[in-house]
Structure 1
Amino acid sequence: MIAVGVAAYIAARRYAAHRAEVVAADALVGSALHRLKRQARRHYLDPALSPSPVIPSLQLRDLLLLASSTPTPASPLGSPLMTPIRDSPASSAPTVAYFDPRARNSVWERVRSVVERNANVRCRTTAVRGEPMRVWEWIGPLEEDDTDVLFSPLGSPQ
């Protein structure tokens, strides 16, 4: 009986961790697509100020999933230990700190998979400052109501 109870508890924790990762990945996909679209719009409006329409996927990962050097022990079940971090003033996209590297990689793999399958995103490998990197570029339509990009070179509303 105790073994069944422990197994049920572990299964419930793993399921909860999985659901938390799926929800986090969905939110991060939206943030990633928003940032790609914003970068494409900035490049379109002023190529001198924003010379590249692409964002390296690893830099976007690090921007959205801020790594922390805090020695917080990882959960043995691989659940994400999420702590909200104050957003940068120029961004409305959520940022989350994942202290568990396995959870961080799992969430990012979900995000990468969805973004790279999006028909509005071009994925390629190119040299960024001399280093070959996987980059993403928004090739979809840009709406006229992107006021956060139109009125401010930094992308924040004035």
Structure 2
Amino acid sequence: MAHSLRPVPLDFLHTAPVRLVFTAEAAAPPEAVFGVLSDVPSWPEWYGAVSRARPVGGGAGREIRLKGGTRFRETIVAADPGERYAYRIDRTNVPGFRALLEEWRLTPSGAGTCITYTFAADGTPLLRTALRLVRPGMSRAFHDAVRALDRRLGARTAGT
């Protein structure tokens, strides 16, 4: 991976030049959703864009490969059971990024969970424009992933 990104703190979620925020409902409770989010190797099973995911650094980080060849080396910056799962991208093979932080915020919603996903980025002007243009595709990928995550949790519950 050729591009190192600058490390950013969690408050970058609120100050990033590009912030894409998506929300969806899951039928499962926050603790169950968090369990799937924090199970790094399971991501390809429910997030269609992910082809490979493995923990690195004794579980402090992740190595993610997306379909199409994009790769990320990440540091987990927040893993609060039932509340949020966040990671900072440290290295990628995608040019143009300067900083990238993603958060999955979990809020109880009836018997289920409201999931708010924030993609916070800084990059070259061309990358910033490209990210805004791909927003609809990212929204679709997020909503598809939440539906698959919910199906996975429903199947797990039905099998117990």
TM superposition score normalised by structure 2: 0.26
| Larger strand percent | 2
- Using CA pairs under 8 Å that are at least 6 residues apart, name the structure with larger relative contact order, 1 or 2: 2
Higher helix share: 1
Q: What TM-score does the superposition give when structure 1 sets the normalisation length?
A: 0.26
Greater Rg over alpha carbons, structure? 1
